[in-house]
Amino acid sequence: DQQVKQNSPSLSVQEGRISILNCDYTNSMFDYFLWYKKYPAEGPTFLISISSIKDKNEDGRFTVFLNKSAKHLSLHIVPSQPGDSAVYFCAASSKNYGGATNKLIFGTGTLLAVQP
């Protein structure tokens, strides 16, 4: 059972436009969410995170929005740049998941292609 879902395997946007990547989760115990970016032949790198006590977190061109009632989060990239082309994974965790292990549960990823 996939507890963290990214229903769009791929997304293509024009340079300068907004990219919106979506993520849904099913476990209401999750209280912390992260986005990772992965380039080919490299490991995932942390991008931005949000705690469940917030509904928005912003870092430069990247903003994550959390809608707890809908169990939905999204990553907005504005403006999108060709260098943003990568696979984006959302991940969820909880202090109380599996005995406060802080394990990350990952989604399946969305391949973002930013066209010049």
Partner 1 sequence: DADVTQTPRNRITKTGKRIMLECSQTKGHDRMYWYRQDPGLGLRLIYYSFDVKDINKGEISDGYSVSRQAQAKFSLSLESAIPNQTALYFCATSDWAGNSYEQYFGPGTRLTVT
Q: Which residues bind partner 1 (CB under 8 A)?
A: 4, 6, 9, 32, 34, 36, 41-46, 49, 51, 89, 93, 101-104, 106-109
CA distances in angstroms from 51 to 18, 40, 82, listed in the order given: 23, 28, 29
Q: Which is nearer to partner 1, 36 or 77 (CB)?
A: 36
Q: Which is nearer to partner 1, 27 or 108 (CB)?
A: 108
Q: What gap in Å lies between CA 21 and CA 6, rounded to an integer?
A: 8
What angle is formed at CA 110 by the lines to CA 71 and CA 24, rounded to 5 degrees?
Answer: 10
What angle is formed at CA 4 by the lines to CA 97 and CA 74, rounded to 5 degrees?
Answer: 115
**In the complex, what is the shortest distance from the CB of residue 79 to partner 1, in angstroms, rounded to a whole number?**
26
**In the complex, what is the shortest distance from the CB of residue 86 to partner 1, in angstroms, rounded to a whole number?**
13
**In the complex, what is the shortest distance from the CB of residue 102 to partner 1, in angstroms, rounded to a whole number?**
5
Q: Which two tokens stand for residue 27?
A: 């476990």
**In the complex, what is the shortest distance from the CB of residue 52 to partner 1, in angstroms, rounded to a whole number?**
11
Q: Which is nearer to partner 1, 13 or 23 (CB)?
A: 23
Of 91, 114, 115, 111, the C-alpha closest to 30 is 91
